Amino acid sequence: MKPANPASDPQLSARKIIHLDCDCFFAAVEMLEHPEWQDIPLAVGGAAERRGVISTCNYPARAFGIHSAMPSARALQLCPKLKLVSGNMARYREVADQIFAIYRRFTDLIEPVSIDEAYLDVSNSALLDGSATRIAEAIRQQVKEETGITVSAGVAQNKFLAKVASDWNKPDGLCVITPEQQADFVAQLAVKKIPGVGPRTQEKLMGLGVGTCAELQSLSLVELQNHFGRFGERLWQLARGEDTREVRTHRERKSISVEHTFSQDLPDLASCLDQLESLMEDLEQRYERHRESRQILGAVVKVKFNDFAQTTAECRADQPHKGVFASLMEEAWHRGARPVRLLGVGYRLGAKEGEAEAEQLPLF
């Protein structure tokens, strides 16, 4: 049976969603603090000698092929004159608080995605004649005037399209997808723009002769489920621009974790297991403030190998001990059986007392 069509639901078809994304946020704050860095390649990230990675970079740096999550050492190879700074998270949070305060002038229906990204539902707003486009323009203008930060915005009937639209005219851009434009816009959209379609899924889709959403629409729901399991239904919906998710003003923490990148690769499983006790101590410290209200449901171990391939292993356990984590670490390590650059451990958490358990989110 095919999923329900949101177009048949008047409430869904009347939605007005804005996705707001600050342009190279951490780097933008640094350039405000240091105007002399405005036109030079700049990145915020960890030191190369400590195997750090790039958190974000400005557009002059992106011209060299630098991007977030790239190892800092590689970024410096691409651009030897790159200005690499460790960053000031306290300052970034101050600026982010200012920006979100501006968002709240227009609606209380705000779903933060990260420190510099959010969805706004302005479906029932009477401001600016109820025009989501004018509201997005006003927000962008006020943020720029009051903080100096530029924000790109996407306006559409649902979260999926609004997020795609916010990236369409970056930086400092606005893209509006009207209901009349939606079908044509989605049809020409590359499948790599669909959330959850990473390199492997994209490669598999290309093998099926699918590079755009129009081509993806030619595959039946059953075919997609056969090839991609549960994600197949999601692909079927998003290929048609369908997304029924609401803007959620409250996100409950579903998990808690710690991870560590090592200055030198851990050569074997034994050396990984030697790190377990320290990681578990850090995890327990982080869990302490949730102990009274949140039950542990499971344990998770993450292993990232020296070629940046990564895997996770998990199991249900209400009182995970060192033996549980050691078993999961052994399982994960044997999938790659090569030197390791990063290890992580975490707990899956139950719902708060008196609340139904929500859908589980990825831990790492």
Q: Which residues are annotated as a binding site?
A: 21, 116
Q: Which of 36, 117, 281, 359 is catalytic?
A: 117
Catalytic residue list contains 281: no
Residues in contact with 332: Cβ distance below 8 Å, sequence separation at least 6, in sequence order: 301, 302, 303, 311, 312, 313
**Euclidean distance between CA atoms 66 and 344, whole angstroms:** 26
**Hey, which bits of the chain come out as E strands?**
17-22, 42-45, 54-57, 83-85, 110-114, 117-121, 151-156, 174-176, 255-266, 296-305, 310-316, 340-349
Residue whose structure tokens are 């915020």: 44
CA-atom Rg of the chain in angstroms: 22
Closest to 15 in 3D by CA, of 4, 6, 27, 24? 6
Q: Which residues contact 299 (CB under 8 A, 6 or more apart)?
A: 314, 315, 317, 320, 324, 325, 328, 345, 346, 347, 348
Residues annotated in the binding site for Mg(2+), as ranges?
Answer: 21, 116
Give phi and psi for 205, each to the nearest 5. Answer: -65, -40
- Packed helices 221-228 and 199-207: angle between N→C axes, nearest 10 degrees: 130
Spatial distance between the Cα atoms of 292 and 288, rounded to a whole number of angstroms: 8
Indicate the Cα dihedral angle 135, 17, 177, 128, nearest 10°: -20
Q: Catalytic site residues?
A: 117
